[in-house]
Amino acid sequence: MKTFGVVVFPGSNCDQDCYHAAAHAMGARARYIWHRDTDLSGVDCVILPGGFSYGDYLRTGAVARFSPVVAAVADFARAGGLVIGICNGFQILLEAHLLPGAMRRNQNQKFICKHVHLRVEQPQTPFTGAGRAGQVLRIPIAHGEGNYYADHETLRRLRENGQIVFRYCRPDGHITLDANPNGSMDNIAGICSERRNVLGMMPHPERCSEPVLGSADGRVIFESILRNGVVS
């Protein structure tokens, strides 16, 4: 059985939610990893959860990326281990250069919390293997800086290599401007590394892994990890 390791930075808010989703909603094993810890033994998939690590001082995710654990996570990723960064976790992966691009403030300059729809663009990752191309998932966002940006060259590479994993869409799957909640380039909601073992996504799958919460579509991501996953 797979074991999830949930990293906890000062200011992480969604670590307990991710732990609950992994352990209680999905029935997997889980443990916490304190940010000063570098021991990832026994962990098959690292989760960098949402929140406001270090209060979002400087730039969101900018300080967290210097924590000892991030270097350990980078080694883990290089060795092929699975890493998923959710919301602030995605921002940290960008700051740590484990994923390309950057996050800017939402276009409307406000924090937005609501359910949105995502289209699975890339089912061939350890995080989407249980889904299919074009599948629409209803997953909530909650962020002030989810406006993904990458320069033209990077964007071209992401497209060519199939690294765009999720895009914001309408309930029927159409990718439109009105379905984009934050101005993110190309409606990008989640991307993966070239080797596909590192994923960053702004929406929160841990918030929709149980029917009682209004949507269980987040389970697709956790199920994919549990089924596939590359163990280092």
Partner 1 sequence: MIEPAVYRELGLKDEEYQRIERLLEREPTPTELAMFSVEWSEHCGYPRSRPLLRLLPREGKFAPRVAGDAGGVEVAPGLTVLFKLESHNHPSQVEPKQGAATGVGGIIRDIFTMGARPIASLNSLRFGDLQTSLAKFLFAGVVDGIQFYGNCVGVPTVAGEVYFNRCYRGNCLVNVMCVGVVPTERIVLGRADGPGNAVMYVGSSTGRDGIGGCSVLASHEFGEDEQKRPTVQIGDPFTEKCLIEACLEALDTGAVVGMKDMGAAGLTCTTSEMAAAAGTGMDVDLALVPRREAGMEPYELMMSESQERMLLVVERGEEERVAGIFHKWDLNAVVIGRVTEDGILRVRDGGQVVAEMGAQDLASPPTYEMPVEPPAYIAEAAARDLSALPQPKDYERALLDLLASPNIASKRWVWEQYDHMVQINTVVLPGGDAAVLRLKDVAHDLSDAYLWEPRPAAIREPCPPTTPTPAIAVTTDCNSRYCYLDPYLGAQIAVAEAARNVVCTGAEPAGITDGLNFGNPEKPDRFWQFRRCVEGLAAACRAFGVPVVSGNVSFYNETPTDAIHPTPVVGMVGVIEDIERRCTMDFKRPGDRVILLGESLQELGGSEYLAVAHGLETGRPPALDLAREKAVQAACLEAIRAGLARSAHDCSEGGLAVALAESCIRGGIGAEIKLPPAQSDLRLDATLFGESQSRIILSANPRHVEEIARIAEKHGAPWAVIGETGGDRLRIESSAGAGLIALPVAEMEQAYEGAIPGLMG
Site residues for partner 1 per CB under 8 A? 3, 8, 10-11, 13-17, 19-21, 23-24, 26-34, 37, 42, 50-52, 54-57, 110-114, 140, 142, 144, 204, 206-207, 210, 212-214
Residue 115: active-site member: no
Catalytic residue among 14, 18, 45, 87: 87
Identity of the residue, 104 or 115, whose beta carbon is nearer to partner 1 in the bound complex:
115
Closest to 59 (Cα-Cα) out of 103, 7, 98, 9 = 103
- With a CB cutoff of 8 Å and minimum separation 6, the contacts of 14 are 49, 50, 51, 86, 87, 88, 204, 206
Residue 206: active-site member: yes
Identity of the residue, 115 or 157, whose beta carbon is nearer to partner 1 in the bound complex:
115
Identity of the residue, 66 or 111, whose beta carbon is nearer to partner 1 in the bound complex:
111
Both structure tokens of 35: 């940010």
Residue 204: active-site member: yes
- With a CB cutoff of 8 Å and minimum separation 6, the contacts of 101 are 94, 148, 149, 150, 154, 158, 191
Catalytic residue among 18, 121, 206, 208: 206
Catalytically active residues are 87, 204, 206
